[in-house]
Amino acid sequence: MKPNGIVRRGAAAPLPMTAAVNPARPGTPSPPRMDVKFPTLGFLIESDMTGYDLKRRFRDTVGHFYPASDGSLYPALKKLAGDGMVRMRLEHRGRRARKVYSITPAGRAWFLARLEQPAAPVFVHDESMIKLYFGHHRPQTALAHLDQIRRQDVALAEYLAGFADQMAPTERSPFRRAVIEAGLRIVTFKSRMLADLLNRLRREVAAQSPAERRRKPLTIAAGAR
């Protein structure tokens, strides 16, 4: 296969990327992907929480790897309650009442069973890389997008570094400290890598002639298949 993805005649077709494959056991299906119910139950094992408490816990701990929105968290709590994995009670504070969730034995058993299963392979859905792939249509816009992602990663690295410093004296779990350290290392590497790519692309774009900048990417006619 050529570098641009065009398959030569007689060459083997590229492998389809739609089917998930378990890298530990080739030929076997990958484990099911985690949904928001798993970390939600994990947090509820630690203590009873409201939906707002859970949102904050996601944000302050595993949010870099698995963010949770209102649109996913609250329907998941409703589903867990319907399945008997959590209980919901109302706590009244003056005229206001809040919903507090607690895990049930069934929820604990389900969580621990899923914890034993291998994790699914990493799948990255990164819009910035897709836009970068088509960046030749608007080179300066592509460079601006790349720089924006780099600056966001720098800011996130600073946040994670500060959070790691705050949790170090009190967090007893080495696994939780390792998660924050992994996030910090990944985002730090990514920000530096993007800076290198950005500098190289700026030089290459500046060196192009006006004709090269207007050149359209290669297209293949339908009859050429």
Q: Please report where in the chains the tokens 């299963």 appear, as a residue.
A: 117
pLDDT for 94 beyond 50:
yes
Do the beta carbons of residue 177 and residue 164 sit within 8 Å? yes
pLDDT for 108 beyond 60:
yes
Structure confidence at residue 64 (pLDDT): 72
Long-range CB contact pairs, 93-100, < 8 A, 24+: 98/50, 99/50, 99/51, 100/48, 100/49, 100/50
| Rounded mean pLDDT, 46-54 | 95
What pTM, to 2 d.p., does this model score? 0.62
